[in-house]
Amino acid sequence: MRAGSSTSSIGKNVANRTGFRVVGTSVPRVDAVEKVTGRARYTGDIVLPGMLHGKVLRSPHPHARIRAIDARRAEQVPGVVAVLTRDDLKDIDPYYGPVVQDRPLLALDRVRYAGDPVAAVAAESEATAEQAASRILVEYEELPAAVGVAAALAPGAPRIHEGPHRAGEERLSVKPIPGTNICHHERLVRGDVERGFAEADLVVEDTFTFPMVYHYALEPHTVVAHWDKDALTVWASAQHPFLVRGELARIFRLPLARVRMIIPFVGGGFGSKSYTKIEPLVAALARKAGRPVRVAQSVSESMHTTRRHSVTCRIKTGVKRDGTLVAKACAIHLDTGAYADNGPQVANRAAQRVIGPYRIPHLQIDAYAVYTNSVPAGSFRSIGAPQSIWACESQMDIIAERLGIDPLALRLKNVLKRGELVRTGMKPLDGDISVGLRKTAEALGWRRRPGADGRGLGLACGFMNAGAFPVSIAIVRLHADGSATLLVGTTEIGQGARTVLSQIAAEELALPLSEVTVARGDTDAMPFDRSTGSSRSTTLMGLAVQRAAREVRDQLVKIGAKLLRAPTRAIEVRNGTLSAGRRKVMSYADVIAGHFGLPGGELVGRGYVRPPGGKPVNPVFWEIGIGGADVEVDRETGQLTIRRYVSAADVGKAINPRECEGQDEGAAMMGLGHTLFEAIRYEDDQIVNPNLIDYRVPLFTDLPEEFVALLVENGDGPGPYGAKGMGEGGIVGVSPAVANALARATGVRVRDLPLTPERVWRALRQSDGSKENHGDRLSSD
């Protein structure tokens, strides 16, 4: 793959015009050397005195009542210190969950999926723990299981959860449908959808499916828990340490101040480490063992911990002959698995995101998060979006084809403009999608005739309400020698947050980047940050860092003015010094020493980001993702080769352009996984490919021959310097862009993912067959 990337000319060189020093430049990652030399420490590297190793026993059954657990044989294994079962949870509140607290940290009365944790062993070695876990006797009474949404919604389907659960911390009003396995129903209505269909010249209806996929963060979930009397310290690969802290405090009935989350380097998250995963289980095991316990999951165990929702999306769209969209009705069913986790929010986002960035007067969108007896689904890079945009954007091309309109033109005709109302109560569109679409099409060579050489071009776009809840707090400490430390609760999950936040602080403090350090994540030291996800950190934590740094700079200037005997407005801040004219110059260190009267002391600045009046603007910003694919089809095998992939991200202002391109590239390549290769397959109620040999993520050999990253920079984001978040948008357009390219190359439309050669080959064959029998394919539908 050629890393042929370029930066769009829109708003280009804002940096130069406004004289940034560090912001807007592609400085190397601040942690690059640590990582490539292996010095970076991850949770799995933590070794504590007396630390034990934990192993979890998981249910072999998809749905069963637990009659009895006999742990004696495990306890007798030499080296075993503790076996944790449901009997040990009686003095704590074992339930957790971000939206509904429906998940016990160990199965209590029954197991709800093959892989559900049933017991855990802490032992002197991992091998001993594993051996002992296999000796625990569990007596199950098997119950009818419902794997898959169809089974879970069938009449007489087993109920996977009884009764209402407490709400979690997320502010989403959950609407279960009583008497069913539907744990949340999200409905969006605008206008009168039936009237809209009546007014339409053409109504198309399609059903699309999207597979279950796994995040495959290189580092599986890893947690070390340590109790010191009644204070709990947890090292974890967690994206949202403050939310995990809250859950742990509630479960173990501790004040927040006695729960400390320490987040070393994290080997990738992608949503798999959002919210609380195995932290309560490991903490409970350590509590019973009376010693620190480390649990490092295998890939297979992590595949049995969380995944992305598989989705069936029925989508019906009414359109005028000239391409004007008038009505859309959707029924989206999301397989949320055995526990809700983030599922209701994923359903909420899927419902919003299936509409697409288009003006549609009449809407009725229903999204259902459905409990099933499979691995719980949760957050995954741009929740609900790749699934719903796959349906929306594939169908846009179907409509274009039926109406004989160019797919780009159809999109441009309907796309929302900057400042246009998206939906009542939401922030108007804050970006320019049509420009990004045009640029992407241009970079693809859109005007080339499609299909002639077995090649086709496809486009897709999506926009996502991003940023999650806007609360982030930062502290900047300017030390006695003039260097600075940032205290931020943002988790570095490989996205480059430490680098970008350092750049912002260096810019504001007029320091070289080498003088700025981001402290390690630790909830005892860091002020609160709501979460790391939803493309929010550059925008929200970036703003908090900017404010905190400015507060420090203001203090510095005030003190410096006094010491230099000059008015504050005469003070210039440059490269670690204050000056008032050529003769009056002081280093930051001199200023601080002068202020405190000794070579010591420090200045502290705080930056708060919170919604004005406590009511958040929804969304923080609109994240725009646009993709374009140039695809070659091998008609004999069904093999697709992506000759070029173009991804456009509207970043407002690129604090670090190379990191932005890297994020976009990473997101698009991840999208390539579910587009061409990946699917978790269930057979006999078990995952049949729970390993990296049979679960196939794309490899170097599978990447597009050429990748183009376009960064749209209009300085129009709510973050520092007009930045807005990115890193998720790149994933949403891949599947529809590739499928649209396939359709334009061959006339064959595939509505299921992944687009494996076998699936494409079958579709081509079917189409050849139906052409022979029925003549023109298009006239038959």
Stretch of 174-182, 418-426, 455-463, 757-765 lying at the interface with another protein (CB under 8 A): 757-765
Helices then strands, each counted (H, E), the chain: 20, 32
Q: Determine, following the binding rule CB under 8 A, whether residue 677 of this chain makes contact with another protein.
A: yes
Q: Is 452 in the site for another protein (CB under 8 A)?
A: no
Q: How many other C-beta atoms lie within 10 A of the C-beta of residue 371?
A: 29
Q: Following DSSP, what letter does each residue of 427-495 receive, concatenated?
A: PPP-S-HHHHHHHHHHHHTTTSPSSTTSEEEEEEEEEEEES-S--EEEEEEE-TTS-EEEEE----SSS
Which CB, 648 or 748, lies closer to another protein? 748
Q: 407 preceded by cis ω (within 30°)? A: no
Nearest to 717 by CA among 626, 607, 621: 621
Give the one residue of 65, 686, 751, 777 binding another protein; rule: CB under 8 A: 686
386: phi then psi, degrees, rounded to nearest 5? -60, -35
Structural contact between residues 475 and 606, judged by C-beta atoms closer than 8 angstroms: yes
Binding mask 176-215 for another protein (x = CB under 8 A): ----------------------------------------
**How far is residue 233's CA from residue 224's CA, in Å, rounded to a whole number?**
8
Which phi and psi angles does 503 have, rounded to 5°? -60, -40
Closer to another protein by Cβ: residue 473 or 739: 739
Which parts of 733-756 fold into alpha helices (H)?
734-746
Which listed range, 559-567, 663-671, 687-695, 767-775, lies at the site for another protein (CB under 8 A)?
687-695
Least CB distance to another protein at residue 754 (A)? 9
Distance CA 325, CA 647 (A): 25
Q: Give the separation between CA 582 and CA 665, rounded to whole angstroms.
A: 47
Instruction: Provide CB contacts within 8 A for 525, sequence distance 6+.
Output: 487, 519
Asked if 308 is part of the footprint of another protein (rule: CB under 8 A), the reply reads no
Segment interacting with another protein, rule: CB under 8 A, options 502-510, 688-696, 720-728, 745-753? 688-696
By CB under 8 A, tell whether 757 contacts another protein: yes
Rounded least distance, CB 70 to another protein, Å: 18
Question: Cα-atom radius of gyration of the chain, to the nearest Å?
Answer: 27
Binder of another protein out of 481, 572, 602, 702 (CB under 8 A): 702
| Order of strands, sheet of 110-111, starting from the edge strand that comes earlier in the sequence | 110-111, 64-70, 137-142
643 contacts another protein (rule: CB under 8 A): no
Contacts of another protein in 102-141 (CB under 8 A): 114, 126-127, 130, 134
- In angstroms, the CA 724 to CA 623 distance is 8
Q: Which is nearer to another protein, 45 or 634 (CB)?
A: 634
Shortest distance (Å) from residue 49 CB to another protein: 24
Can you tell me which of 177, 758, 769, 778 binds another protein, judged by CB under 8 A?
A: 758
Q: Which of 9, 637, 770, 780 binds another protein (CB under 8 A)?
A: 637
Does 58 contact another protein by CB under 8 A?
yes
- Does 65 bind another protein (CB under 8 A)? Our answer is no
| DSSP-assigned beta bridge partners for residue 517 | 485
For position 604 contacting another protein by CB under 8 A, the verdict is: no
Task: For the CB of residue 130, give the shortest distance to another protein in the complex, in Å.
Answer: 6
Residue whose token pair is 């420490």: 41
- Selected from 424, 700, 773, 776, the binder of another protein by CB under 8 A is 700
Cβ proximity to another protein: between 571 and 642 the closer is 642
3-class DSSP assignment, residue 184: strand
Residue 733 lies near another protein (rule: CB under 8 A): no
Shortest Cβ 692–another protein spacing (Å): 9
Tokens linked to 190: 């605008």
Nearest distance, CB of residue 683 and another protein, angstroms: 8
Q: Does 638 bind another protein (CB under 8 A)?
A: yes
The answer to whether residue 298 forms part of the interface with another protein (CB under 8 A) is yes
Kindly state whether residue 38 participates in binding another protein, applying the rule CB under 8 A: no
Which of 701, 773 has the CB closer to another protein? 701
Q: How far apart are CA 39 and CA 595, in angstroms?
A: 38
C-beta of residue 753 within 8 angstroms of C-beta of residue 738: no
Binding of another protein at residue 767 (CB under 8 A)? no
Check if the beta carbon of residue 618 is closer than 8 Å to that of residue 426.
yes
> Which of 388, 465, 490, 756 forms a contact with another protein (CB under 8 A)?
756
Structure tokens given for 740: 């649209």
* CB half-sphere exposure, 579, CA atoms < 13 A: 9
Residue from 11, 14, 56, 61 binding another protein (CB under 8 A):
61
Q: Which of 503, 372, 741 is nearest to 21 (CA)?
A: 503
By the rule CB under 8 A, 762 interacts with another protein? yes
Q: Cβ 298 to another protein, closest distance in Å?
A: 5
Region of 485 on the Ramachandran plot (φ > 0 left; ψ -120 to 50 alpha; else beta) = beta
**Count of residues that bind another protein according to CB under 8 A:** 35
Q: Does 693 bind another protein (CB under 8 A)?
A: yes
Query: 631 with 647: CB under 8 angstroms?
Result: no
**Residue 133 vs 593, nearer CB to another protein:** 133
- Contacting residue, 26, 180, 209, 300, with another protein by CB under 8 A: 300
Among residues 194 and 758, whose Cβ is nearest to another protein? 758
**Nearer of residues 293 and 712 to another protein, judged by Cβ:** 293
Pairing of strands 516-518, 484-488: parallel
For the residues of 201-250, what is the DSSP string, one character each?
SEEEEEEEEE--B----SS--EEEEEEETTEEEEEE--S-HHHHHHHHHH
Candidates 450, 690, 718, 736: give the one binding another protein (CB under 8 A).
690
- Binds another protein by CB under 8 A, chosen from 636, 772, 776, 781: 636
For another protein, the closer of residues 162 and 700 by Cβ is 700
Instruction: Please tell me whether residue 489 binds another protein under the rule CB under 8 A.
Output: no
How far is Cα 234 from Cα 227, in angstroms, rounded to an integer?
Answer: 9
Q: With CB under 8 A as the contact rule, which of the stretches 2-10, 155-163, 681-689, 708-716 interacts with another protein?
A: 681-689
For another protein, give the closer residue by CB, 222 or 756: 756
Residue 575 interacts with another protein (CB under 8 A)?
no
* Three-state SS at 710: strand
CB nearer to another protein: give 201 or 758. Answer: 758
Nearest 5°: phi and psi at 736? -65, -35
Q: For residue 525, what is the DSSP state?
A: T
Of the residues 632, 634, 752, 768, which one makes contact with another protein according to CB under 8 A: 634
Q: Residue 379 is encoded by which pair of tokens?
A: 């957050």
**Shortest approach of another protein to residue 128 CB, angstroms?**
10
Nearer to another protein, 636 or 776 (CB): 636
Nearest approach, Cβ of residue 62 and another protein (Å):
10
Binding mask 251-290 for another protein (x = CB under 8 A): ----------------------------------------
47: which residues sit within 8 A by CB, 6+ positions away? none
Part of the chain binding another protein (CB under 8 A), chosen from 53-61, 63-71, 531-539, 558-566: 53-61
User: What H or E segment, with its residue span, contains residue 404?
Assistant: none
In whole angstroms, what is the distance from residue 105 CA to residue 282 CA? 9
Q: In which residue are the tokens 């480059």 written?
A: 496
SS3 363: strand
State the amino acid at position 152 in one-letter form: A
Question: Interface with another protein by CB under 8 A: which residues?
Answer: 58, 60-61, 114, 126-127, 130, 134, 298-300, 634, 636-639, 677, 684, 686, 688, 690-691, 693-694, 696, 698-702, 756-758, 761-762
